[in-house]
Amino acid sequence: MTLIKRIKELRAKYKVATAIMDGVTAFTAVNAGAVALEEFVQPQQQIVETITDAVVPSAQADYFDGCRGPNMFQLDQRITLSETPSYTLLPKIFVDNNEDGHGFFGVTPFMYTPGQKPAVGVGAGMFVDLNEYVKILGVVPVVYNAEGEAVNVNPTVYATIMAGKVLIDPRVSYLASFAKGDVTHNLAFGTTLGVMINNVIVGGDIETGIDPSNAQSKQLEKNLKYGGIIRVDLDAQHKNWVQAYFNNNSLSVGFRANF
């Protein structure tokens, strides 16, 4: 089934998702057109934020993965439209008592798929600002997938490199999934690359992975995934934004709010 056909069916079935998609599409189109006219005229304001998706089955791509959030609390949610639609909620906390760019990071993942039991978990980690342009965040989430009676441990290290208008977010993620006495492993490598145009960031993501228990070079080609990402900030302080993700078989819309 093609992605376009699947989206049409989902639009008819999930009215809330349809309204969200239409709103984000219209907002993104207007903003992208406006900022394109002003692109090399106004200076780019530095964004210092973070997004970390520690859900089943592995880390997901976002911009500013390696940075702390602009506030202590962040509410991160995403609707994914694919063969099996899903909803992900990630309440996050960033604790930096000394305001030195080093501190504690916590997250409580929740994922719901219609007709299935939810996946829930908790994760803890640290964030470190090496300097103004390079930042790192590491987290170890443990997620229980009630539907498959599986426990997933997914330590991930993100980095954010800011070079002018170019944004690079490399990441390394290891997944150990424990289910019914069996353990499966996956080691993934990915990079998100974007170009900042005022309050819009456009670019893409590429990722691949191997089974470290039986590593073979052909696995890298077999597991290769890529897609596009666009982010639109809703305010000048970069506290709230929408983000869309798309590849050959799915479309996701994400919402972030910092407070």
Query: Mean pLDDT in each 10-residue stretch from start to end of the chain (259 residues)?
Result: 51 48 44 35 30 40 88 94 89 88 94 92 96 95 88 95 95 92 90 95 94 83 91 92 89 93
- For the chain, the domains span 3-258
Q: How many Cα atoms within 13 Å fall on the side-chain side of residue 170?
A: 4
How many other CB atoms are found less than 10 A from the CB of residue 159? 20
User: Where does residue 24 fall: left (phi above 0), alpha (psi -120 to 50 degrees), or beta otherwise?
Assistant: alpha
CA angle 191, 133, 237 (to 5 degrees): 95
What's the pLDDT score for residue 55? 36
What's the pLDDT score for residue 27? 42
Long-range contacts, stretch 145-149, CB < 8 angstroms, 24+ apart: 145/56, 145/119, 146/117, 146/118, 146/119, 146/120, 147/113, 147/116, 147/117, 147/119, 148/179, 149/179, 149/180
The answer for residues whose C-beta is within 8 angstroms of residue 223's C-beta and 6 or more apart is 188, 207, 208, 209, 210
**CA separation for the pair 165, 153 (Å, rounded):** 35
Q: Of all helices (H) and strands (E), which one includes residue 122? A: strand 119-129
CATH number for the segment(s) 3-258: 2.40.160.40
**CA separation for the pair 232, 93 (Å, rounded):** 22
What's the pLDDT score for residue 54? 34
Q: Alpha-carbon torsion 201, 202, 203, 205, what sign?
A: positive
Crossing angle (nearest 10°) for helices 15-38 and 3-13? 120
**CA separation for the pair 61, 208 (Å, rounded):** 12
**CA separation for the pair 243, 199 (Å, rounded):** 12
User: Residue written as tokens 């964030």?
Assistant: 127
What's the pLDDT score for residue 35? 38
What's the pLDDT score for residue 59? 53
What's the pLDDT score for residue 12? 55
Residue ranges in 1-128 assigned as alpha helix (H): 3-13, 15-38
What's the pLDDT score for residue 8? 53
